[in-house]
Structure 1
Amino acid sequence: MGKEDYAKAFKLGKKDYQTRMLRGEKPTLMVLDDIMPEKGSYSEESIGLVQIPIEQIAGTKTVGRSSSFSGNFMPILRETTEFAVKWAELSTSHVEEGIRDPIKAYEYMNKFYVEEGNKRVSVMKYFGAVSIPGNVIRIIPKRTEEKENKIYYEFLDFYQAAPINYIWFSQTGSFEKLQEAVGKEPKEAWEKEDLLKFSSVYTRFCAEYQANGGKKLKITPGDAFLSFISLYGYEEAGEKTTNELKELIAKSWEEFKLLEQEQEIDLKMKPNQKKKPLLNLLHLGTRKLKIAFIYEKTPGTSAWTYAHELGRLHLDQRLPEEVHTVCYENGTQENIDSLLKDAIDEGCSLIFTTTPPFVQASVKAAIANPKVQIVNCSLNTSHRYIRTYYSRMHEVKFLMGAIAGAMAENNRLTYIADYPIYGSIANINAFALGAKMINPRAKVYLEWSTKKEADIAEKIKENGSACVSGRDMVIPEEASRFFGIYHMEEGRPRNLAMPLWHWGKFYEEMIWAILEGTWKYDDNPSATKAINYWWGMSEGVVDVICSKYLPIGTKRMVDLLKGTISSELFNPFSGILYSQTGVVVSDPEGSLSPEEIMTMDWLAENVIGTIPAKEELKEQATPVIKQQGVKKKESGSAAY
């Protein structure tokens, strides 16, 4: 039996050898000594006896035995050699008794290189073993700025909490996300039961993922698994039957393909210009398009919801013959799935979920109901089965900063922000830059309304700000003047300007695109990308409204700046830019890209304040931060 097995393994080895030769690859095993860092640039650490995943054994420690095997660890020496005889004997022993003796190996960048036991690895791999016991010495390179090195150090941190070596990612931050996705706090140690459960869930997922063609994708199984449990939930994934898991993986395949893209998002900064003459529209007949809007709160208690409700009413007024709209209020993480189901059951073929925390439920509903279009209001979100939208409010905030800078006699301004999420940091910095452009001495005191025990009124008194940027709109059920830009006069606010979210303009454009059939043109068939709409002043989605208390000269300045931004002659984030810690843009002719504006995690040099850590925020902020929180940490910025 051993000789027959060797003959089969030998054939596999020769085939792999020849295939690699034709591809111009090294046909034999990798040698760790050939790729090790220079002496003095790494350290060694014994991690003891562990189960080594067979798939992660990449080669040998030294060159000695590397030429005895092809790159897939199958033997390539003739059957008459002493090596072949020993391999065959080991094969027979494995069948009769099993191989129990651990190998000795080195781990480098989570790949393993065998020092003792190469034939054991070869035999175990031939028989389809998943892992093999081994005493392992870890080679730890010095920290660098290289992506793979950063991922490896994140793995080392994760390994301290969960000694798992069989999952790997291609993107930084993924091990932290995995820790959170399984319900663990950062650095919280895993119990034995946690490790066994994870192994079961991950193994079952990988089996179905690979069976569906996972090896053809240029991502790791870990990338796909993290995407899957982030969407459906870790506990829920573990409870799925094999058939349910298989079906969900197949239906979610576009999400996995999206992970292959270096740039996952196709940012639409303007409406699609492909239009059909209105007289030629034959899209509806007598049937109206039924549209649902799902709100997190009510229009009476939330300025954000109120703005979207005005957008819905705009649709009803502008397109009474074409659409019928309904709204669902008080959506939560607990009831969003049922609200989406209700809307679909009521015959809605287009659904707008108007807040970032609803994005995961939106994707799940879209996968389960492919004939329903679901669009979520969030920024920098990567999903293939839904589209997302947001507005370039930083353009308006720049104008409001200019107003505040002009009106602040003592050069002190306060900016009240809510959540440290994508887009909000750009709003803060745009405000600060606008103020500084008009008033070089302007200082912006940053306060967060969602911080625990925040007494913003007291903070404003302490810093003595003459002008304040408060909530964007008045809340209908609150008789308050503390919104927009207001000037403090004897402890009372005098409103100077306010931003306008004109969601109705966006919704109307989207509806016409669907009715006219041009919606499909936004999706490039040659690329797998998530579609994000990010419109601004030039598209009429945002604007600033000035009050009668604003001096006429300041009003003219606002109109001038508005015109240059709307016509794209001026970018608020252009020229030399400084953060609290140094230079961001050094080129006087340079400017930030839309992607850099969306994801910025730094504060302008004239901002006094920080980006709060998640632990500093109220519980109500958790769902938003989890979905949209700024990711990178830089001098006072917080990673989420």
Structure 2
Amino acid sequence: MSANEYLRAQKLGEKRYQAAVAKNEYPYLPVLDEIISPSDTVGEVNLGLQTISLDRVVGTATAARTTAFASNFMPILDYHTEFGMKWAALCESHIEEGIHDPIKVYEYMNKFYVVEGNKRVSVLKYFGADSVPAMVTRKIPRRTDSLENKIYFEFIDFHKQTGINYVYFSQLGGYDKLREFIGITKDAVFTEDERLDFNSAHLAFEKAYLAKKGNEELTITVDDAMLVFLNVYGYEALKNMTTSQVKDSVDKVWNEIVLTNEKKDKTVLPKLDPVEPKKSILDRVIKPSGPSNLKVAFVYDKSPANSVWTYSHELGRMDMENKLGDSVDSRTFCNVDTPAKLTECLGRLVDEKYDVIFTTGPEMLPEALKTAVLHPEIKILNCSLSLANSHVRTYYARMYEVKFLTGMIAGSLCADGQIGYVADYPIFGTTANINAFAIGARMVNPRAKIYLQWTKVKNADPQKFFERNGITYISDRDMIMPDDASRNFGLYHYDQNGEVVNLAMPFYNWGAFYERILRSILEGNWKQEEKNETSNAISYWWGMSAGIVDVICSKHLPAGTQKLISVMTNLIREGAITPFSGKLTSQNGIVRNEDDGAMLHEDILKMDWLAENVVGMLPTEDDLVDEAKTVVALQGIDTPESLELKSVPEVK
């Protein structure tokens, strides 16, 4: 019997060998001694006896036995050799009583290379075993700037803390996210009971995930996928699920998992302008019909009276209602400013059978996604620049186009070129706004410098800074709030008497967006739009061409400036000009865009640098006030060390 098992295993080895040769790949086991040199490591650590995943056992430590196996650890030598006889004997022993003696391995970069026990690994892999006991010695690599190296050192910290050696991510930050879901800090002690609970939950997810995945090619790891799952269901829920419940739950979030894979492998771009759904001949014959009336909820984290952002959305809601009339019944839910309140609010909206829910802040996305997965009958949208969600559509406005225009106004009017700019959260979109303003100012005034101040930074006082430095032209919050009589909004100037003179105001026309989206649902085109997309994720990032943003100019502007802005506005709407074109250089002298074209939209989305004429830096998490950290954790840009917030120099 063991002879037959060897011959079957040999066929598997020969098949892998031939496939590797055909692809011009190395056909034998990888050899650790040939992969690394002594200078690649800084030491070794004896980790003792551990249970290791056979999937992570990928090669042998030395070249002594490598040619006896194909790269899948299946044997390729003839059965009538000493090697073949020993393999068959070991196979028979495994069938009768199992293999219990630990092998000996080196661990390097979370992969295992066998020092002793190659045949044991081969037999166990042949029979489909999941794990093997092993005496493990870790070879510690030198630290480098490579992504793989940085992830590995995150793994080392997690392994030291938890004793778990089978979790691995393809992106940085995965272990911190997993700690957050589990509910532990980096310095917490992970007990044996907690380790057993995690092992059981992880195994249940892994089996369901691999069964669903089948032969589908995904480059994310099992644990990347598990983070997507935990983001919806939570760790405690996973621990308490039955096998069938885990399987059903994986099915429900599968599109989110696939989108995570797509986001890793390629840039998922938002829709830049409204387009009419493409319709087949059948669609034209059978006109889709939607509901006659929609029950719509708008969820705000603050109230329109005390938040410019909320006020702009409330104006849009009222404008939409005026245009759609009785076909829409909308309600607002204000001051939903904690995850607990949002969970309660969304649960209420589900119970009350709302058709559409607009969540108007990026911090609301996780809870919105959970609700959308569990209640696919409800259409849920979130106002953010998140792109990888199939259950929640996201939307945002290209405000940088308007900031570019207000920058031109400031540059043309400010004689000394010293201009202030007030920003709030360092999130996607904000950096593009700052840079577009700076580029616009320099276009008409080569001496223009933009002094950047943040309102969500500890001990921030932008107005005091501007006053102390004699900066009188300032770009501030986008619009006035109903309960605040201050004229410090939009672009303004302090005159000789210290009075505020408003010059221009960026304007969000959310009503145009809400009307178009709800009308598409009423006309039965919501699903049609999904059919016309190559990705299941739909994100809207509309600008001036769609009428979503605009600039309102004051009568205080000189006629020539008004004419210039009118011409530039039309050019932007027509797509003839964009703020981010031609040679663009950041503060540290790096050229971010060449002379010969416009910057790609994916590069604008990911913008993590400041233009060379901006004086100021991007704040890190430690710089922020507590209320800002949740928003920045979800939508914040990655702040390079060279751009960390430092004190802004005084005006010279």
- Normalising by structure 2, report the TM-score: 0.89
- Per-residue CA deviation, residues 196-221 of structure 1 (Å, 9 max, x unaligned), is 44333322211221232356341310
- Per-residue CA deviation, residues 576-595 of structure 1 (Å, 9 max, x unaligned), is 11111122335212332111
User: Percent identity at matched positions?
Assistant: 42
Query: Equivalent residues in 2 for 1:295-444 (5 A)?
Result: 295-331=300-336, 332-444=338-450
* 1:227 match: 228
User: How far, CA to CA, are the matches of 1:42 and 1:245 in structure 2?
Assistant: 41
Q: Structure 1 87/15 Cα, relative in aligned 2: closer, same or farther at 3 Å?
A: closer
Q: Which moved more, 1:425-434 or 1:508-517?
A: 508-517
Displacement of 1:164: 3.7
* 2:9 match: 12
Displacement of 1:362: 1.6
Q: Which moved more, 1:595-604 or 1:533-542?
A: 595-604
Q: Structure 1 36/324 Cα, relative in aligned 2: closer, same or farther at 3 Å?
A: same
- SS state of the match for residue 268, structure 1? coil
* 2:137 match: 136
Displacement of 1:427: 0.8
Matched, 1:289 2:290: no
User: How far, CA to CA, are the matches of 1:383 and 1:176 in structure 2?
Assistant: 21
* 2:648 match: none
Displacement of 1:468: 1.4
* 1:61 match: 61
Matched, 1:269 2:295: no
Matching residue within 575, 581, 588 for 1:574: 581
Matching residue within 522, 527, 536 for 2:534: 527
Q: Structure 1 292/426 Cα, relative in aligned 2: closer, same or farther at 3 Å?
A: same
Residue type matched to 2:266 in 1?
Answer: Q
> Is the 2:407–2:440 contact (alpha carbons within 8 Å) kept by the matching residues of 1?
yes
User: How far, CA to CA, are the matches of 1:596 and 1:266 in structure 2?
Assistant: 11
- SS state of the match for residue 534, structure 1? strand
Residue type matched to 1:549 in 2?
Answer: H
- SS state of the match for residue 478, structure 1? coil
- SS state of the match for residue 265, structure 1? coil
> Is the 2:30–2:71 contact (alpha carbons within 8 Å) kept by the matching residues of 1?
no
Q: Structure 1 253/79 Cα, relative in aligned 2: closer, same or farther at 3 Å?
A: same
Query: Equivalent residues in 2 for 1:84-163 (5 A)?
Result: 84-91=84-91, 99=99, 101-125=101-125, 126=127, 128-138=129-139, 140=141, 143=144, 145=146, 147-156=147-156, 158-159=158-159, 161-162=161-162
For structure 1, the residue ranges without an aligned partner over 5 or more in a row are: none
> Is the 2:428–2:606 contact (alpha carbons within 8 Å) kept by the matching residues of 1?
yes
- Per-residue CA deviation, residues 482-531 of structure 1 (Å, 9 max, x unaligned), is 11111123443221111100000111111222233333343356733421
Displacement of 1:375: 1.1
* 2:637 match: 630
* 2:31 match: 32
User: How far, CA to CA, are the matches of 1:28 and 1:573 in structure 2?
Assistant: 49
Displacement of 1:612: 1.0
User: How far, CA to CA, are the matches of 1:90 and 1:214 in structure 2?
Assistant: 31
User: How far, CA to CA, are the matches of 1:595 and 1:83 in structure 2?
Assistant: 56
User: How far, CA to CA, are the matches of 2:589 and 2:153 in structure 1?
Assistant: 26
- SS state of the match for residue 302, structure 2? coil
Q: Structure 1 494/157 Cα, relative in aligned 2: closer, same or farther at 3 Å?
A: farther
> Is the 1:270–1:534 contact (alpha carbons within 8 Å) kept by the matching residues of 2?
yes
- Per-residue CA deviation, residues 105-134 of structure 1 (Å, 9 max, x unaligned), is 233332211121112223443362423222
* 1:170 match: 170
> Is the 1:411–1:466 contact (alpha carbons within 8 Å) kept by the matching residues of 2?
no
- Per-residue CA deviation, residues 4-59 of structure 1 (Å, 9 max, x unaligned), is 35643541342353255257366954222575146645545334324332110012
User: How far, CA to CA, are the matches of 1:10 and 1:192 in structure 2?
Assistant: 45
- SS state of the match for residue 477, structure 2? coil
> Is the 2:16–2:72 contact (alpha carbons within 8 Å) kept by the matching residues of 1?
no
User: How far, CA to CA, are the matches of 2:558 and 2:12 in structure 1?
Assistant: 82
Q: Which moved more, 1:252-261 or 1:154-163?
A: 154-163
* 2:650 match: none
> Is the 1:47–1:138 contact (alpha carbons within 8 Å) kept by the matching residues of 2?
no
User: How far, CA to CA, are the matches of 1:6 and 1:476 in structure 2?
Assistant: 85
- SS state of the match for residue 557, structure 1? helix
Matched, 1:492 2:491: no
- SS state of the match for residue 334, structure 1? helix
- RMSD, aligned CA: 3.0
Matching residue within 459, 464, 469 for 2:470: 464
- SS state of the match for residue 115, structure 2? strand
* 1:191 match: 190
> Is the 1:10–1:74 contact (alpha carbons within 8 Å) kept by the matching residues of 2?
no
- SS state of the match for residue 609, structure 2? coil
Displacement of 1:377: 0.6
> Is the 1:414–1:445 contact (alpha carbons within 8 Å) kept by the matching residues of 2?
yes
User: How far, CA to CA, are the matches of 2:286 and 2:32 in structure 1?
Assistant: 70
Q: Structure 1 55/353 Cα, relative in aligned 2: closer, same or farther at 3 Å?
A: same
Residue type matched to 2:623 in 1?
Answer: E
> Is the 2:58–2:112 contact (alpha carbons within 8 Å) kept by the matching residues of 1?
yes
> Is the 2:423–2:455 contact (alpha carbons within 8 Å) kept by the matching residues of 1?
yes
* 1:584 match: 591
User: How far, CA to CA, are the matches of 1:414 and 1:399 in structure 2?
Assistant: 15
User: How far, CA to CA, are the matches of 1:588 and 1:176 in structure 2?
Assistant: 41
User: How far, CA to CA, are the matches of 1:437 and 1:429 in structure 2?
Assistant: 12
User: How far, CA to CA, are the matches of 1:287 and 1:246 in structure 2?
Assistant: 37
* 2:618 match: 611
* 2:546 match: 539
* 1:450 match: 456
Q: Structure 1 169/339 Cα, relative in aligned 2: closer, same or farther at 3 Å?
A: same
User: How far, CA to CA, are the matches of 1:363 and 1:149 in structure 2?
Assistant: 32
User: How far, CA to CA, are the matches of 2:420 and 2:356 in structure 1?
Assistant: 40
Q: Structure 1 182/556 Cα, relative in aligned 2: closer, same or farther at 3 Å?
A: farther
Q: Structure 1 632/10 Cα, relative in aligned 2: closer, same or farther at 3 Å?
A: farther
> Is the 1:574–1:592 contact (alpha carbons within 8 Å) kept by the matching residues of 2?
yes
User: How far, CA to CA, are the matches of 1:595 and 1:27 in structure 2?
Assistant: 37
- Per-residue CA deviation, residues 84-123 of structure 1 (Å, 9 max, x unaligned), is 4434554566577765544332333322111211122234
**Residue-pair matches, total:** 631
User: How far, CA to CA, are the matches of 2:567 and 2:61 in structure 1?
Assistant: 68
Matching residue within 479, 485, 489 for 1:479: 485
- Normalising by structure 1, report the TM-score: 0.90
Residue type matched to 1:232 in 2?
Answer: Y
User: How far, CA to CA, are the matches of 1:539 and 1:577 in structure 2?
Assistant: 26
User: How far, CA to CA, are the matches of 1:588 and 1:75 in structure 2?
Assistant: 58
For structure 2, the residue ranges without an aligned partner over 5 or more in a row are: 646-652
User: How far, CA to CA, are the matches of 2:314 and 2:286 in structure 1?
Assistant: 27
* 1:594 match: 601
